[in-house]
Amino acid sequence: MSAIASKRFDFHIATGLIGWLLACFAAASMGALFMPGEWYAALKKPSWNPPGWIFGPVWSALYTMMAVAAWLVWKRGGFAAQCRPLTVFLMQLTLNAVWTPLFFGLHWTGAAFVEIVLLWMAIAATIAVFRPVSRAAAWLLVPYLAWASFAAVLNFSLWRLNS
């Protein structure tokens, strides 16, 4: 491969990663649009509810890992070759973005719980379709699935405590 072709390839790969980071952090931006605020502060919470400061760093790390996972799959031929796994990924990313306005915007804790269960299933499906393409990509999503599991239990608890 010539030096020029190699540089074009490197640029293409780098811009792909930037694109996946932008997509994932666009979903994350819902958190800035729908902040917890006074409503959340006034909710009855379980004793094991984590402190508010923990959510930002955890979600930042998870969105970064999600982007890298999607990029690793995308690198194996782009959308043309990886249409199914990347479509499943984008579906779960959309579900991820929808939860925040349901919970923090509309205060629909029950609907948000149903939605987060669907999100959990979509994350598990994404791991399953990523695994044959890139084991590393699948493993990068495991902490996200674990956090979504915790978030679902917390969502359920908040819903039941505040019905």
Q: What is the pLDDT of residues 33-57, one digit of tens each?
A: 898 989 999 999 999 999 999 999 9
- Cβ(103)–Cβ(37) below 8 Å: no
The residues, any chain, with a CB within 8 Å of residue 128's CB and separated by 6 or more, are 138
What pLDDT, on a 0 to 100 scale, did the predictor assign at position 80? 93
Query: 160: part of which helix (H) or strand (E)?
Result: helix 142-161
Residue of higher predicted confidence among 79 and 4: 79
Q: Say what the alpha-carbon torsion angle 35, 100, 53, 121 is, to the nearest 10 degrees.
A: 180
Residue that has been written with the tokens 């609907």 in this structure? 111
Domain locations in the chain as residue ranges: 3-161
Three-point CA angle 14, 144, 67, nearest 5°:
10
pLDDT in tens, 84-129: 999 999 999 999 999 999 999 999 999 999 999 999 999 999 999 9
CATH class of 3-161: mainly alpha
Q: Against a cut of 0.85, is the pTM above it? A: yes
